[in-house]
Amino acid sequence: MPRAALADFLRGIGVPDKEIRMRVAQLWHWIYVRGAREFAEMTNVARALHARLDAVATLARPEIVREQVSNDGTRKWVLRMPSKGPHDRGAEVECVYIPERDRGTLCVSSQVGCTLNCSFCHTGTQKLVRNLEAWEIVAQVVVARDRLGDYPGRTPPEGAFVPDDGGRFVSNIVFMGMGEPLYNYENVRDAIGVLTDPEGLQLSKRRVTVSTSGVVPEIHRLGEETGAALAISLHATNDPLRDVLVPINKKYPIAELLKACRDYPGASNARRITFEYVMLKGVNDSLAEARALVKLLRGVHAKINLIPFNPWPGTIYECSDWAQIEQFSEVIFDAGYASPIRTPRGRDILAACGQLKSDTEKMRARARLMLEEQLALGAD
């Protein structure tokens, strides 16, 4: 719950007005700083209040259905959210932890599946089951910290990965898991508010990045209301190709998308917008397209992130050859942009970009055929 909602909630269960501020601060500290799993742990909170809280609330985490560790240290969790009724088995979502020397990045999901179907993305083959609620987004971070033993003064649970270089294990959050965050705007906004609360999880707003396929009407208020960093899944430099790769482009074409980027609140040379570009062999990886990309981004505070395509069962795409990716990157670099190539992480456990897909809904059998048709159309 956002802080204000927690205050209302406590009022609703009879906590007197003059205590509200103190109780909110106490609960917030126990939950987000200390990682409390039960109200009874909260020793400075009156016993009578423990009982009242226990009657109507819980700190239980979503169930961990699976935990996998890649040979590069990447971790993937499949989480099952509590059932919402007799016919709901509980939605499953994935989140991925990527340790690096100077940071630990948690890639979180914002929806179960995705209503958009970018043709190169595994998640797009899963029918949307539903939006995640704000708490279900925050819970992904809390579970990761549980499993990483990332709470001061707590003994890490058995089997947890504990880095030995000190510091926070989860320092960065990227909304790059399952789903389109800007199609679940309010919940994503509220979750970011909780994640970046200075007395709670304490993540820096600059280290929270929301990636969108280009839901133009929501971009401005994302910047205004959350202060999060923005990433755009661009992937093509002209509308006909982007219409095929990222079909939401038919609704919000490249020119409109870039206008929203130019106007993004808080973007500056120091706070650049990331443009993601997936490298698809023979589809969008020519050097002419690299030059077109540079031209397109003129006047935008941009950095470019080249993502080697991660294959998944049934896809019709292939990753560009490494030499081609390097040449593409060089063109961009020569034009004055940093163009890091994102090292694929966790491929062996299907944890890499675009590989996430829970079993809630099986892949549609006709997907491949449809994509081939679309591509043929796009090529005309």
Residue (196 or 274) nearer to ligand SAH, CB: 274
Residue selected from 141, 258, 278, 350 as contacting ligand SAH according to rule CB under 6 A: 278
337 binds, among ligand SF4, ligand SAH, none (CB under 5 to 8 A by kind): none
124 is a site residue for ligand SF4 (CB under 6 A): yes
Q: Which residues pair with 30 in a beta bridge?
A: none
Question: Among 54-62, 119-127, 265-273, 327-335, which window interacts with ligand SAH (CB under 6 A)?
Answer: 119-127
How many whole angstroms separate alpha carbon 332 and alpha carbon 285? Answer: 12
349 is a site residue for ligand SAH (CB under 6 A): no
Q: List the beta strands (DSSP E) in the chain.
A: 63-69, 75-80, 92-99, 104-107, 111-112, 130-131, 172-175, 208-212, 229-233, 273-279, 302-308
184 is a site residue for ligand SF4 (CB under 6 A): no
- Max Cα-Cα span within the chain: 71
Q: Which residue in the list 114, 118, 319, 353 is annotated as catalytic?
A: 353
How many whole angstroms separate alpha carbon 303 and alpha carbon 277? Answer: 11
How many whole angstroms separate alpha carbon 7 and alpha carbon 12? Answer: 9
307 binds, among ligand SAH, ligand SF4, none (CB under 5 to 8 A by kind): ligand SAH
Active site residue 19: no
How many whole angstroms separate alpha carbon 297 and alpha carbon 290? Answer: 11
Active site residue 94: yes
329 is a site residue for ligand SAH (CB under 6 A): no
74 is a site residue for ligand SF4 (CB under 6 A): no
Work out how close the CB of 61 gets to ligand SF4 at its nearest, in angstroms, rounded to a whole number: 24
Work out how close the CB of 356 gets to ligand SAH at its nearest, in angstroms, rounded to a whole number: 8
How many whole angstroms separate alpha carbon 152 and alpha carbon 164? Answer: 14
Closest CA to 170 of 260, 92, 104, 256: 104
For helices 134-148 and 185-195, give the axis angle rounded to 10 degrees. Answer: 40
267 is a site residue for ligand SAH (CB under 6 A): no
Work out how close the CB of 119 gets to ligand SF4 at its nearest, in angstroms, rounded to a whole number: 9
DSSP 92: E
Q: Which residue in the list 94, 136, 276, 289 is annotated as catalytic?
A: 94
Catalytic residues: 94, 353
Binding site for ligand SAH (CB under 6 A): 118, 120-122, 176, 180, 211-213, 233, 276, 278, 307, 309-310, 353-354
